[in-house]
């Protein structure tokens, strides 16, 4: 994602690449941020967050939960905006992120793809209109290196479906089936997680009833779709920062879907 973001930033004239961060032991440390995509940027990959923020307005983060919270704290301390696409945050970590958003604008979304966030709205509409007679199942697949399951996007789709049917994912989510499980409990939302190869990300929400099945699917073939969405979020954050409007936002706010 870092390389995809560098490439996207260089392709957009209204965005300036001011800094690039990685862990100190990264093989990219000390090298030009555009080296792997064959472009020279003049920006050297480093690990000093404060130095990076001093040169920037918005930090775009795709790391791990602990890293995201450290970046959020640094942004709040320095009055900078944050776009966070990290998944796997616990409820306590999300609450901590929201606390930092009282000081600065933060866009937090498990998936920055414009298409996925439109799909979330479609899932809400389908769940509302189809009603309780349709069983809801969510199938997702990602590359073999992904560390969390189900994906943050799958959970977000599940949350949308649950809210639209008057329940919560905590009450209705089913994440594993094995052995003699008995028949499907009405009102549940099932998840199936697949991992393999280099799949960027695929999600399907299935609404099944007697005689028909409705499927809403999103397939990402390139990380550039996430990078493009992240830049839209960065522009949104920069505007909120200029207006002095802190808060915790998501991609629905960025896209005007809220």
Phi and psi at residue 7, to the nearest 5°: -60, -45
- Quick one: which H or E segment has residue 20? strand 20-21
Q: Does the annotation count 94 as an active-site position? A: no
- Contact at 8 Å (CB) between 33 and 8? no
Return all residues near 122 (Cβ < 8 A) that are at least 6 apart. 216
Q: Does the annotation count 219 as an active-site position? A: no
d(CA 15, CA 109): 20
d(CA 138, CA 215): 10
Q: Cα torsion for 207, 208, 212, 217, to the nearest 10°?
A: 40
DSSP E strands in 64-181: the ranges are: 81-84, 105-108, 135-142, 173-174
The neighbouring-strand residues paired with 249 are: 107
Active-site residue, from 142, 203, 218, 219: 142
Active-site residue, from 94, 143, 145, 146: 146
Task: Extract the tokens encoding 100.
Answer: 């930092």
Query: Which amino acids are annotated catalytic?
Result: 142, 146
């Amino acid at each position: 994602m870092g390389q995809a973001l560098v490439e996207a930033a260089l392709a957009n004239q209204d965005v300036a690449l001011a800094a690039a961060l990685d862990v100190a032991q990264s093989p990219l440390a000390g090298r030009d941020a555009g080296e792997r995509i064959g472009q020279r940027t003049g920006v050297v990959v480093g690990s000093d967050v404060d130095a990076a923020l001093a040169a920037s307005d918005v930090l775009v983060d795709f790391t791990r939960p602990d890293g995201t919270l450290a970046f959020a704290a640094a942004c709040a301390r320095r009055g900078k905006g944050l776009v966070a696409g990290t998944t796997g945050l616990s409820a306590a970590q999300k609450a901590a992120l929201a606390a930092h958003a009282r000081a600065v604008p933060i866009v937090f979304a498990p998936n920055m793809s414009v298409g996925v966030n439109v799909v979330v709205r479609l899932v809400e509409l389908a769940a509302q209109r189809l009603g309780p007679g349709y069983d809801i199942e969510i199938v997702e697949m990602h590359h073999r290196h992904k560390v969390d399951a189900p994906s943050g996007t799958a959970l977000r789709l599940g949350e949308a479906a649950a809210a639209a049917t008057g329940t919560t994912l905590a009450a209705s989510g089913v994440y594993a089936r094995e052995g003699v499980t008995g028949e499907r409990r009405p009102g549940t939302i099932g998840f199936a997680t697949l991992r393999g190869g280099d799949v960027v990300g695929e999600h399907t929400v299935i609404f099944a009833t007697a005689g028909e099945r409705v499927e809403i699917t999103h397939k990402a073939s390139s990380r550039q779709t996430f990078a493009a969405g992240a830049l839209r979020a960065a522009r949104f954050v920069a505007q909120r920062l200029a207006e002095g409007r802190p808060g915790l936002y998501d991609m629905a706010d960025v896209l005007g879907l809220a």
